[in-house]
Every structure is written in C-alpha cells, then in structure tokens.
Amino acid sequence: MINKTRRRLIGGIAAAATTSLWSNFAFSVLKPEEKLKVGVIHMGAISNTGWEYYQAQAWRSLQDKYPDRVEVTVLENVTDIQAVERQFRQLAMQGHQLLFGTTFSQYASMKKMAPQLPQSHFECCAGIEAGPNLGVFEGRHYEGSYLTGIAAGRMTKSNILGWVGAFPVPQVLYSLNAFLLGAQSVNPDVTLKLVWVNAWVDPAKEKDAVSTLVSQGADVISGSPNTPVQSKAARDEGVWSIGNTGDFSEFVYETQLASFELDWSPAHIEAAQAVLDGTWEPTGRWRGLGDGGFIRMSTRSPELPASVGEELDMAEAAIISGELKPFAGPITDQSGTVRIAEGMELSDDEIRGMNWLVAGVQGSVPSS
C-alpha cells in the first residue's frame, strides 16, 4: 500500500506550487482589448424549447450585449458525468476565463475542479451552494408555479389538478407544492394527482402520464415540460395545460392557461461584467420574479377571464414586493404534520431542501 502520508505531502506541495504559480492570473483584470472567453457545457442538445434552450438564450444574451468583448464556446450533448470534468478542464486550459455549468449534475465536478483552476471562474446553474471559485444560481420556480396555480384553481371544474413529475428533486417538489398552494388559495377544495416519469425527457412516457392523469379526473396539467408533448397531449385530451418553465403557446395557445419562462441572462451578464471589471466573487443567487430575476411570467390563454388575469397581475406584484409569500404558514403536509405555523414562512434552506408534499397531493416521494 502506498504511503498515504508521503503521497499527501507531495500532493500538497504540488498543489501549493500550482496555485501560487497560477495566482498571478487569478485576480488580474482583463485588458480592454482582450476578449473574455466564456465556456458553456450543455448536457443535452439545444433546441427551441426547454431547459437547454433557456441556458442557450442566456449565453446568446452575452453575445448580444458584448459583441466585441465576449467570445462564447459551447459544448452540447455532454451526457456523461465522467466527461464533464475533462471538458471543463480542457476549456479552462484553453484560456476560458468564465465557465458556466448548466445543470445540477455538473455541480459535483465543478465543485471539485474550481479550486484547482483559479485562472477560470466557475458558475453553476442549479448548483447547491457557492464555494471556492464557484458561484451558483437558481430560479425561484415556485413563484411562477404559485401564480399558475391560481389560474388553475380558478379554471378547474373537477377540482383535480395533475402534475407530470420528472424526478423527485426539491426543485420539482417545491414547484408542485406551490402550484397546489396557489390553487388552494383561491379554491380550497382542489387536490393534485402526481405521477413520476423518472426522466426529464421521455416524450412517449410523458404523453402516457398525461393520459393517465386525465383518466383520473385531472383537468389542468402541469409538470416540468422540456418539449410541447405534455401540452399537446393535454389539448388532445381536452384539458388545460400549464407552461411551467416553458411557454408553449405557439402550439397550444388556447389551452395553455398560464405560463412562465426562465431567464438566466441576468446571471450570465452580471458574472461576465464582474469578470471584466475584475470584481468577480463566488456568490449564490436564488431569484424569482421581478427585475433582474430569473423567472418571467409569460403568455396566458385568451380563454382566461379578465378577472383572473387581473388577479394574477396583482398576485405577481405582491410576490415581487414581498407581501405575498407562497410558502407562508399554515402549511400542512400529507401526513397531517404542520410544517409551518400561521404567521411564519419557510426559510430558503427549508424550501431548497424540500422533500415532502403538501396536503392535498395524491402521490408520494421516495423516503430516505
């Protein structure tokens, strides 16, 4: 067995030498004529809807805003977690000073690499928390989901909503909980049926999920759609759909009750500007609606009554001003436990780590 102490010592010296060698680069401001090289790695393929699309819109906004100062290298279809580290390292070695990760599954690799590559700055979308040389940003999807829930609560006739769940991760859970809470805020009798597809993209299964939910009585369908499949399936079954993190009005204008989109450009632009100014620091940003936020309410159905539209506008303003908090108590979970009492609200950490379902959801989360 290799002598661990000696190996660690040598490794430590090597690391110290490397960091001191590179530290000259770490905090230098880019000269005015130098281009900022930005690298982005997508797990999937970029199309014109869905998660990857919004990630792409963000770096495109960088190109629009800094046409002469920023150069973006984009890699798509990097599906293996093992390959992520190699690709980011290669981008760093090729002189990219700002590197964006676009999904949670890249976070662990970026967290490991960021301290080792101080010549580049790392930002991970949907990462857990900021660390050395690594910033994270994520959207408060639940704010958008809550508002769409209000629309759903008003328009449902069966009082049963449906949610096509991709994976039981907190971002999905807090979104669907907020959806139901929003609906219950205007219609206390509403319940939500939940099925898990166990995939972010599986069009055939998503379509089956919509059929199943409808057969069980749901008449408003939401989920985490990356493609129009769910919305179209809902329309074909004759029920409403919600554009949760995606606006599919191009396909289902009448039947998409409400929608919201993601907008990561503030994160990208702020990070790029900071690197250009030499003031970049790793931070965690979790923003929702409002200026500089990552969530943007989008198209509503023409069939939505004007009164509901106004209600949505007012609620949106209230969320932005802080008056209306989607996760304000009292909130009871499925088992009857009161998660948050009247007058209090869930903390950010509690929301981000959510692993329970609100009372009224029929479905389950894997238990640990």
Partner 1 sequence: MTDILSILLTAIIAGTPLLYAALGELVTERSGVLNLGVEGLMVMGAITGFAAVFATDNLWLGVLAAGATGGALSLAFGVLAITLRVNHVAAGLALTIFGISLGAYVGKPLVGQSLNLTEAQFSGGLTQLPLLGPLFSDIHPLVWGSWLLFGGLWYFSVRTRAGLILRAVGESPRAADAIGYPVMSIQFLATGFGGVMAGIAGAFISVVYTSIWTEGMVAGRGWIAVALVIFATWRPERCIIGAYLFGGMTIAELLGQAMGLGVPTEFLSATPYLATVIVLVLISRKDSRMRLSVPAALGKSLDIKG
Partner 2 sequence: MLLRFEARSKPSAAVFWLSPIIAVALSGCVAMIIFALSGLPPISSLVTFVSEPISSLYGLGELFIKAAPLILIAVGLAVGFRANVWNIGAEGQIIMGVVCAGGFALSYGGSESAWVLPGMILLGAIGGCLWASIPALLRIHFRANEILTSLMLNYVAGFWLIYLVHGSWRDPAGFNFPQSEPLGQSALFPTLIEGTRANASILFAPLAVVLVWLLMNRSFLGFQLRARGVSQRAALYAGFPANRAILVGLLCGGAAAGISGVAEIAGPLGQIYPTVTPGYGYAAIIVAFLGRLHPVGIFFAGLLMALLYLSGDTAQMSLGLPPSIAGVIQATLLFFLLSAEVLVNYRLRRGDRVAVETEAV
Residues that bind partner 2 (CB under 8 A): 1-2, 4, 7, 10-11, 14, 45, 73, 75-83, 85-87, 89-91, 104-105, 108, 112, 128, 167-170, 173, 198, 352-355, 366-368
Touching partner 1, residues 173-212 (CB under 8 A): 193-198, 201-205, 207-209, 211-212
Decide: is 18 part of the binding site for partner 1 (CB under 8 A).
no
**Please, which residue, 23 or 364, has the CB nearer to partner 2?**
364
SS3 34: coil
Nearer to partner 1, 141 or 232 (CB): 232
Measured CA to CA, the distance from residue 122 to residue 101 in angstroms comes to 8
**Please, which of residues 211-250 interact with partner 1 by CB under 8 A?**
211-213, 215-216, 226-229, 232
Query: 156 — phi, psi (to 5°)?
Result: -70, 140
**Hey, what amino acid is at 368?**
S
Place of tokens 């702020």: 270
Cβ proximity to partner 2, 38 vs 78, nearer residue: 78
Partner from partner 2, partner 1, none contacting 362, C-beta within 5 to 8 A by type: partner 1
- Determine the Cα–Cα distance for residues 173 and 190; give it in Å rounded to an integer: 17
Q: DSSP for 163-181?
A: EEES---HHHHHHHHHHHH
Cα gap 162→150, rounded to integer Å: 14
CA distance linking residue 248 with residue 226, whole number of Å: 10
**Tokens 């070695």 belong to which residue?**
93
368 binds, among partner 1, partner 2, none (CB under 5 to 8 A by kind): partner 2
Binder to partner 1 among 36, 37, 41, 50 (CB under 8 A)? 50
| 3-class SS of residue 284 | strand
Identify residues 60-89 at the interface with partner 1 (CB under 8 A): 77
Binding site for partner 1 (CB under 8 A): 44-50, 53, 77, 193-198, 201-205, 207-209, 211-213, 215-216, 226-229, 232, 251, 362-364, 366
